[in-house]
Amino acid sequence: MRSRIKSLLLKSSLGRSVFGRYSNWRWSRLVQLSANSECEKLRALLDTEQASIQIFYDNFVSPPSYGEFVQVVMLARYLKASGGDVKFIILDDGERRDDWCYLDLEEQESFVRDQIEIATRILSSEIEVLKGIPNSSSYVVFGANVLAGLAIYVKTPLLLNKLIETSEEPLPADFLLPISWGMELGQDLNLQGVPFVAWGIRKGVWGLDRDNTQEQVITDFRDLRKLFPGHRILLLSTPNGIEWVLSILHESGDLDSSANEAQLLFPQPTPGFINAIPWVLSADEYFQKEGGGMGIVPIFSEVPYLIVSKYQGIHYQHQFHGEKVVAWASPRQRFVHRPHDAHRVLFSDLYTQPTEVS
């Protein structure tokens, strides 16, 4: 009977839309139930004196995405800051999910090295890369999923949000990424006393619908210049993305010389996601349109941000409260969901000036 109803629905565009909405609702409901159950187990475990916990990130069922990876690492950081004895393990036997094929073999190995470096830095502990799941008496987060070879990154944001929402304790002091990382990582943040805002631009090799357009780049650059006439703009992207943005702004006349460029905008000095983190944490504010894994960094910090996207983000769609995408977001940390006009809306149309403290 169910198969007949499904077949009938799929014969029309309206039916396909209805079936798609139902499938999304059912999947979302299952994710919420799973996160609720895991939250209760971890809360009980953290109340014990010896909470030994393992978190596995499996590259066979997870994308080569910094954003997804960091949010799982940050779950480990939260549990560790809450008193848990946490071990974070990357599973990688060389067999990886289909979307890794967008990277050549050297790029894939470089990404795994980045995973190790990022997790080591965020967790202040050594990270193992294993080919299989070891026998252990520790509690494994979403253990049934891990054993079944299912990705856990899709459930992690909701689980972390629920852990924080249901906690009777204040947010652990060591959870959010600290601003002090800028100096700790040895970055040269001396910009002759000139403040800067960070501007994240995605130039991906897949999911190109989440990239900015040339028109957006020009409009958003001019908009940020108007919003922050006394700031320089830090451009954060891949080397290809930086080259693309600079060529657009030179062609449009917004950057007309090297002196003009240095005065208005400076690109990320050292390539790489890990090298961009301290710059984000040292910025006065962070701005982003559409996609981009770098947006995960301000979300897990105290840096004010304004992220505008036509997508809620499949991992976050269950937990929106107005423009708060996470439970710990401050009023000046906003994720604005604009499904129909994200590409047209201006930052200045949405931006709220910080309130002066007397």
Residue type, 199: W
Three-state DSSP class for residue 61:
coil
pLDDT interval class at 183 (50, 70, 90): low
Measured at the CA of 26, the angle between CA 25 and CA 29, to 5 degrees, comes to 85
Same domain, 140 and 197: no
Same domain, 150 and 275: no
Same domain, 186 and 151: no
Across residues 325-342, what is the average pLDDT? 88
**Looking at the domain assignment, is residue 200 inside a domain?**
yes
Same domain, 192 and 141: no
Residue 39 has pLDDT above 70, yes or no: yes
Residue 204 has pLDDT above 80, yes or no: no
pLDDT interval class at 6 (50, 70, 90): very low
Same domain, 187 and 260: yes
DSSP-H helix ranges across the chain: 2-9, 13-46, 66-81, 105-123, 143-147, 156-165, 181-184, 214-227, 239-252, 258-264, 273-282, 296-299, 347-350
Neighbours of 248 (CB within 10 A): 19
Same domain, 200 and 139: no
Same domain, 203 and 346: yes
**Looking at the domain assignment, is residue 170 inside a domain?**
no
Looking at residue 33, its pLDDT comes to: 86
Per residue in 240-254, pLDDT (tens digit) is 999 999 999 999 999
Domain range holding 289?
A: 181-350
Residue 204 in tokens:
């991906």
**Looking at the domain assignment, is residue 175 inside a domain?**
no
Same domain, 149 and 217: no
**Looking at the domain assignment, is residue 355 inside a domain?**
no
Looking at residue 8, its pLDDT comes to: 47
**Looking at the domain assignment, is residue 120 inside a domain?**
yes
> What does the mean pLDDT of the chain come to?
84
Looking at residue 181, its pLDDT comes to: 73
Output the CA–CA distances (angstroms, integers) from residue 182 to 185, 265, 299, 311, in the order listed: 6, 19, 17, 30
Contact 220, 316 (CB under 8 A): no
Residue type, 312: Q
Same domain, 128 and 246: no
Q: Which of 116, 131, 165 finishes a domain?
A: 165
Per residue in 256-312, pLDDT (tens digit) is 766 566 678 889 988 899 999 999 999 999 999 987 789 999 999 999 999 998 876
**Looking at the domain assignment, is residue 322 inside a domain?**
yes
Across residues 53-70, what is the average pLDDT? 95
Output the CA–CA distances (angstroms, integers) from residue 76 to 72, 84, 275, 286, in the order listed: 7, 9, 21, 25
Counting DSSP H helices and E strands in the chain, the numbers are 13, 10
Per residue in 13-27, pLDDT (tens digit) is 554 444 344 445 455
Residue 272 in tokens:
């790489």
Split into its structural domains, the chain has a count of 2
Contact 293, 67 (CB under 8 A): yes
**Looking at the domain assignment, is residue 358 inside a domain?**
no
CB-count burial class (<10 Å; 0-12, 13-18, 19+) for 271: middle
Across residues 188-196, what is the average pLDDT? 65
CATH classification at residue 318: 3.40.50.2000
Same domain, 79 and 212: no
Q: Which of 102, 136, 165 finishes a domain?
A: 165
pLDDT interval class at 338 (50, 70, 90): confident
Q: Which of 140, 165, 190 finishes a domain?
A: 165
